[in-house]
Amino acid sequence: MSNIRVRIPPSPTGLLHIGTVRTALYNYLFAKHEGGKMIFRMEDTDKERGTKEYENDIINGLVKLGLAGDEGVHLGQSGYRQSERTDVYQKYLQKLLDEDKAYYCFCSKERLDKMREDQRAKKLPPRYDGCCKNLDPAKAKKKVEAGEKAVIRLRVPEDGDVGFRDLVRGETCINCKELDDFVIARAINDPLYHLTVVVDDHDMKITHVIRGEDHISNTPKQILIFRALGFDIPEFAHLPLILNEDKSKLSKRKNNVSMDDYLADGYLPEALLNFLALLGWNTEDEQEIFSMDELIEKFTLDRVHKGGAVFDIKKLDWMNCEYIKKAINDDIDEFYENVKPFIKDIPTDDENLIKNILKDPDFEGRFNKLSEIPVALMPLFSPIPDYSLSLLALEKFNITTDMLKDVLTKAKEVLGAIDWERGDSSKSQEISDGLIAIVGELGLKNGQVLWPIRVSLSGLEKSPNFATLAVYLGKEECLNRLDVALEKVK
Ligand code: GLU
């Protein structure tokens, strides 16, 4: 067992985001690959935007995907919600104040606004001017005790480098001059993100911080806090942003971003995980389909990409289709259970019939996601849609009315002479042979016979082939449908 420990610390300010899942997945794969542990904690200090509902959604989602890790909030363990740790943060804030590594700042909002305005006018970068930095700490403490409002700022060194070797992006370094004395708490009992995240990472013995690239500018600030508190500094790895197809940052306007939406649409969790694994990482041989075990075995941070990762929904659809085929082959009963909520409007309770259809090779690849299954199956269960004579006698086949009558009458004869249970695909060949034989008997072309038969059975321009339709419609319905077609020809 290695001592590697990573973490996933979402803020409960929205439904489980696809980007959070990707970050959780990379943390999980890294931890498992290294024989380490993953910690799941909740950054719930934003009281205005955070809700319990979002928290539950995030926890349930990560648990369902198997990415919640080895320790933390999902196991009901205490101390993994920031809201439970105010005392701990207060202790460290006090330490920083006592050691003069942080100080109280009494500047009013008006003063700070004016300061920023002046800086903007002079085209200077916005930064705190250090007004309160030389106040006598004892006097400042008294003022706060007397009830005066003050934020707490970190005393950032005036010069010197803050560098780190990002495990994805390589050496990164900035000079302290580029930072100002930033606020780490609104009050001694109201800490802000930079302080809480550092204290948590230290207390939870995190060795590797793996998170989205949008946090890269936070890292030097957090390193300064690690240093000020005398903590060991973890390794950092920043993951590429996920982008819309037009290369803008993944947004709700252009893509679904919540995991729930993808699951509700019938993407399989394993397909989503496989897809997300490749959103910013690949293997040398460009393999595309991976089991979880393979991902764990192959995942390394040095193959994470630096550039943004485009969210290609067509690729996800393709991958999901592959996973659906596999799920059907592996265990149709289990697959059927997952499909049930999607097909509740299909008017049948014949489970076996549905399972046989799902397994039929002629239906393979007809649905990329579970929500497409009812669309593919409904023609076999709903009344035949009204269709035109011109669809039945499609122009390109040069079919005359007499031909149609002969073909449909013959088809009735052929199907009338075969007995089959609805859904018995073992009869498919016999039905197919019988109907194809009409071509020779009437001396017509394939299209002149098989097209009108297929349209009569489906009422649709596109559908599975005539024998498959016949098998799953059942004999009686087939004969009825051929009658409907004959009516149109009269
Ligand atoms: N709560 C932060 C987020 O959801 C996590 C920041 C971090 O990983 O340090 O983006």
Return left, alpha or beta for 286; rule: phi > 0 is left, psi -120 to 50 is alpha, else beta: left
Q: How far is the CA of 11 from the centre of ligand 1 (A)?
A: 7
pLDDT tier for residue 312 given thresholds of 50, 70 and 90: very high
Average pLDDT, integer, range 265-281: 97
pLDDT exceeds cutoff 70 at 241:
yes
pLDDT tens digits for 16-25?
999 999 999 9
Q: Is 9 in the pocket of ligand 1 (CB under 6 A)?
A: yes
Ligand 1 pocket mutation, candidates 5, 8, 11, 164, criterion most atoms within 8 A of CB: 11
Nearest-CA residue for ligand 1 atom 9 is 197
pLDDT tens digits for 189-203?
999 999 999 999 999
**Structural domain spans, the chain:** 5-82+242-310, 85-239, 313-381, 389-489
Which pLDDT score, from 0 to 100, does residue 199 have?
98
pLDDT exceeds cutoff 90 at 252:
no
Q: Could you name the CATH architecture of 85-239?
A: 3-Layer(aba) Sandwich (3.40)
pLDDT tier for residue 286 given thresholds of 50, 70 and 90: confident
- pTM (two decimals): 0.92
Q: Is 277 in the pocket of ligand 1 (CB under 6 A)?
A: no
pLDDT tens digits for 375-390?
999 999 999 999 999 9
Active site residue ranges? 252
Which pLDDT score, from 0 to 100, does residue 256 have?
87
Provide the token pair at 462. Answer: 């596109």
Return left, alpha or beta for 315; rule: phi > 0 is left, psi -120 to 50 is alpha, else beta: alpha
| Nearest atom, ligand 1, residue 23 CA | 8
Q: How far is the CA of 215 from the centre of ligand 1 (A)?
A: 8
Shortest CA distance to 67 belongs to which of 24, 8, 19?
Answer: 24
pLDDT tier for residue 48 given thresholds of 50, 70 and 90: confident
Q: How far is the CA of 7 from the centre of ligand 1 (A)?
A: 10
Q: Is 43 in the pocket of ligand 1 (CB under 6 A)?
A: yes
Q: Is 7 in the pocket of ligand 1 (CB under 6 A)?
A: no
Provide CB contacts within 8 A for 151, sequence distance 6+: 104, 105, 183, 185, 186, 187
Q: Is 19 in the pocket of ligand 1 (CB under 6 A)?
A: no
Q: How far is the CA of 142 from the centre of ligand 1 (A)?
A: 35
pLDDT tens digits for 473-488?
999 999 999 999 999 9
Same fold, 5-82+242-310 and 85-239: yes
pLDDT tier for residue 490 given thresholds of 50, 70 and 90: confident
pLDDT tier for residue 293 given thresholds of 50, 70 and 90: very high
Which pLDDT score, from 0 to 100, does residue 1 have?
66
Superfamily for the 5-82+242-310 domain: HUPs (3.40.50.620)
Q: How far is the CA of 432 from the centre of ligand 1 (A)?
A: 60
Q: How far is the CA of 42 from the centre of ligand 1 (A)?
A: 9
Nearest-CA residue for ligand 1 atom 4 is 10
Strand partners, 6: 38, 208
pLDDT tens digits for 81-136?
999 999 999 999 999 999 999 999 999 999 999 999 999 999 998 899 999 999 99
Which pLDDT score, from 0 to 100, does residue 294 have?
97
Describe the strand order of the beta sheet including 71-72 as a list of residue ranges.
Answer: 71-72, 37-40, 5-8, 208-212, 235-239, 161-166, 170-175
Q: Pick one of 1.10.10.350, 1.10.3720.10, 3.40.50.1820, 3.40.50.9100 as the CATH number of 389-489.
A: 1.10.10.350
Look up residue 392 and give its amino acid: L
pLDDT tier for residue 254 given thresholds of 50, 70 and 90: confident
Q: Is 10 in the pocket of ligand 1 (CB under 6 A)?
A: yes
Which pLDDT score, from 0 to 100, does residue 398 have?
95
Average pLDDT, the chain: 96
Q: Is 234 in the pocket of ligand 1 (CB under 6 A)?
A: no
pLDDT tier for residue 44 given thresholds of 50, 70 and 90: very high
Ligand 1 pocket mutation, candidates 45, 57, 197, 210, criterion most atoms within 8 A of CB: 197
Ligand 1 pocket mutation, candidates 15, 200, 211, 225, criterion most atoms within 8 A of CB: 211
Which pLDDT score, from 0 to 100, does residue 414 have?
98
